[in-house]
Amino acid sequence: MVLATQRESKDHIALAASLAEEFAKTAIERDAKGGSPTKELHLLRESGLLKLHIPKEYGGLGGDWMTALKVVQEIAKADGSLGQLLGYHYVNSVTPQLFGTAAQKHKFYTDLAKSNWYFGDSVNPRDPDLILSPDGENFRLNGVKNFSTGAKGSDVIVIAGTRDDLGNVLFALIKSDRSGIKINDDWDYIGQRQTDSGSVEFHNVLIYRNEVLGDPDANTHPSPFATLITPLIQSVFVNFYLGIALGAFEEAKKYTLSITRPWIFSLAEKAAQDPYIIEQYGNLWVNLRAAISHVDYVNSVVQAAWDKGEQLTAAERGEVAVTVATAKVLSTRVALETTSKIFEVTGTRAAATKHRFDRFWRNVRTHTLHDPVAYKVHEVGNWILNEQTPVFTLYT
């Protein structure tokens, strides 16, 4: 059984690598254009990877988090936007298991697997809260979220809103074509240009009671297992940052071997024989190799926590959050360095607009601003020095 699972995992990762090769063919053109990756999302649907992480008893492929995160990494090597979209989908679509009832988990997992649903979100806690107002047995949702990754191409949107009479924050899953939802096409940033991360408006949107995860009348703290939502999404960040960095490294390597010329004062006949270029590649790979090893370890820590389910303790959850934070810091540093330094090993002509090698740096630079890495360093330092674990928020 273990061997079969390992074989399936390798097959899923190989499938992702094959898709990434296809996505890479249009990555430059799509980065320049921005907009929605409609065709690429269709290919992800057809591949079955949208239901990779759904247990087999619900019709999914039964993949674990280590496999799903590796798949995100593979896709991000070719296209950071698609890596982000897929990773967010994986986390968004497990919210029924984290916050919902057993019946809701069964319904949404079964529907996702059967219909190949793609899950977007409108959750960003930096924006003013969406407001849920009771309407008989159901609710009405109003408000605006300025950042809503994947909402435009989604089948289902995960929302987080504050109930106006009780003040408790609730998660809900609603169909994206629901009346009153306005998905705006206003995402125009320097990086991650095809993540459809623009704003969404909710105008008196009907939310059925059974679409609200868990008990909408309960004003209780989420369980340690439910609060894994933050380490999960942060681990997605870690893996697509690393994927982008590895993609940049491979593209630079191809260019250096085929096009880059040795400097006029170099004694080398080829750029790949120049000792300074060799040294820089060596330094970049040492850092990347360290990041790969640490991220693999962190992915296994996330998996172990997930496997504990509701038996996970608050202390264990805290250690998982800190461990993921170490990888967030490392992957941010390595990805920013790699995507910047590739120009030093490729040369002046590599900066031509047609190559768009800058897209790797722009992608990392844009998304690493999601939450300041300095605060992740603080979380790690406060834990190792003062034994203080991070308090749960949608950022920690």
**49-82 tens-digit pLDDT:** 999 999 999 999 999 999 999 999 999 999 999 9
pLDDT in tens, 106-151: 999 999 999 999 999 999 888 778 999 999 999 999 999 999 999 9
Dist CA 68 CA 223 (whole Å) = 24
Domains 2-115 and 119-211 share a fold: no
pLDDT value at residue 378: 98
Could you name the CATH architecture of 226-386?
Up-down Bundle (1.20)
What's the pTM value of the predicted model, to 2 decimals?
0.96
Phi, psi of 53 (to 5 degrees): -90, 0
Find out whether 130 and 142 touch, Cβ atoms under 8 Å.
Answer: yes
pLDDT tens for each residue of the chain, 396 residues long: 555 578 888 999 999 999 999 999 999 999 999 999 999 999 999 999 999 999 999 999 999 999 999 999 999 999 999 999 999 999 999 999 999 999 999 999 999 999 999 999 999 888 778 999 999 999 999 999 999 999 999 999 999 999 999 999 999 999 999 999 999 999 999 999 999 999 999 999 999 999 999 999 988 889 999 999 999 999 999 999 999 999 999 999 999 999 999 999 989 899 899 999 999 999 999 999 999 999 999 999 999 999 999 999 999 999 999 999 999 999 999 999 999 999 999 999 999 999 999 999 999 999 999 999 999 999 999 999 999 999 999 999
CATH homologous superfamily for the domain 119-211: Butyryl-CoA Dehydrogenase, subunit A, domain 2 (2.40.110.10)
- The contacts of residue 40 (CB under 8 Å, 6+ apart) are 23, 26, 30, 79, 82, 194
CA angle 200, 396, 143 (to 5 degrees): 20
Domain locations along the chain:
2-115, 119-211, 226-386
Going by their DSSP bridges, the two strands 156-163 and 119-122 should be labelled as parallel
**Other C-beta atoms lying within 10 Å of the C-beta of residue 395:** 16
Look up residue 389 and give its two tokens. Answer: 């674990």
Q: Looking at the domain 2-115, which fold is it?
A: Butyryl-Coa Dehydrogenase, subunit A; domain 1 (1.10.540)
